[in-house]
Amino acid sequence: MSMKFKNSLLVLPAALLLLSCGNNATIDEKSDDASKDVKEEKALSLMSTNCFVCHNPDMESETRVAPPMFKIREHYYDDETSRDEFIKEIVAFAMDPSEAKSIMPGAVNNFGLMPKTPFNEEDLKLIAGYIFENDLASDKWYSKWEKFQKDKDNSSSDLNYEELGRNIANQTKAELGKNLMAVIKRDGPAKAVDFCSTRAIPLTDSMSVVLNAKVKRVTDKARNPKNLANQEESAFIQELKVALLKGDKLKPKVTEVNGKILAYYPIETNDMCLKCHGTPNKTIVPATMAAIKNKYPNDKAIGYKSNEIRGIFVVEMNKKRN
């Protein structure tokens, strides 16, 4: 065998190895790109259902009840901020909003404190990571958002019942919160009592129609008797209160009753809630207390402090077809 042929045999495996590595690298890159696209689509979907009801991405919006997301990014992001730091701060505030944690006092003054919402922490991390990586004030991003809105599949078949119910509960809470904060900002907390007495239940019912599910808020200490929890709901509220006292993580509950899926999600108080549900003559001003007594003479929904269980969202869903 000639030396030249021997050398060719030696070169061939190396060439095949390099070719193989090159192909694998291409496959891996495509796989990484596909994974990134899936994560971005999920992040946009989560922001659409959990964030943009209040944090409207439209820069020209005249009905804004919370700062737009690009403004939030501007406050939390700079060249020295790491991705991990950014995500940690965003998630910490969203999971438990408070004035002490806020770095946007102007927004709190203009819009009020964000209500506490039963977010999934992993979902928030995905959202925060997406915000870190994308300039939400750019025309490029807004074009991407408009395309997502046109192309998105409205099917929720890929979500489990807990995720689907959480999205429904969060969208309903955001819609209620948006309208309530607008009333408080315009007319003060006393007028919010009128809103709750005449608009809260009809608005919740309308969201049930929009979201193709039955949604209600219930409590063991009712202001409106229509919101009083039944026996099973009251039992879960008590479970949540015990978990809170122990310092355990509050978890939703999903069960099946009479062929329907029922999902329960905690409603926790924060500073904004205390304007109508806190302590009379302290967090509840006299004018608001007078309005409460006038509308609800048998009210049981006062005396709360921050980070207590106010009640639960109950979401009733049809079972998915196989």
Provide the pLDDT for residue 93: 94
Please choose, from the candidates 299, 291, 272, 292, the residue with its C-alpha nearest in 3D space to the C-alpha of residue 283.
272
Provide the pLDDT for residue 15: 39
Structure tokens at 223: 């202001």
Provide the pLDDT for residue 322: 61
Each of the 322 residues of the chain gets a pLDDT tens digit; together they read: 444 434 443 343 443 333 344 555 555 555 555 567 778 888 998 898 788 878 888 766 666 678 899 999 999 999 899 999 999 999 999 998 888 899 999 988 888 788 788 788 999 999 999 999 999 999 999 998 888 888 765 445 567 899 888 888 888 887 787 778 778 778 888 888 888 877 787 878 777 776 788 999 999 999 999 999 999 999 999 999 999 999 998 899 999 999 899 999 999 998 878 989 999 999 999 999 999 999 999 999 999 998 899 999 999 998 877 6
What predicted TM-score, i.e. pTM, was given to this entire model?
Answer: 0.70
Dist CA 115 CA 310 (whole Å) = 12
By CB neighbour count within 10 A (0-12 exposed, 13-18 middle, 19+ buried), where does 136 fall? buried
**pLDDT tens digits for 135-170?**
999 999 999 888 888 876 544 556 789 988 888 888
- Which option is the CATH number for 20-152: 3.40.50, 1.10.3470, 2.60.40, 1.10.760? 1.10.760
**pLDDT tens digits for 187-224?**
888 888 888 877 787 878 777 776 788 999 999 999 99
Provide the pLDDT for residue 24: 55
Provide the pLDDT for residue 189: 82
Helix (H) or strand (E) run with residue 240 in it: helix 231-246
Provide the pLDDT for residue 4: 41
The residues spanned by each domain of the chain are 20-152, 189-322
Q: Any idea which residue has 């999902």 for tokens?
A: 263
Q: Any idea which residue has 């099973």 for tokens?
A: 232
Distances from the Cα of 125 to the Cα of 14, 42, 214, angstroms: 43, 12, 29
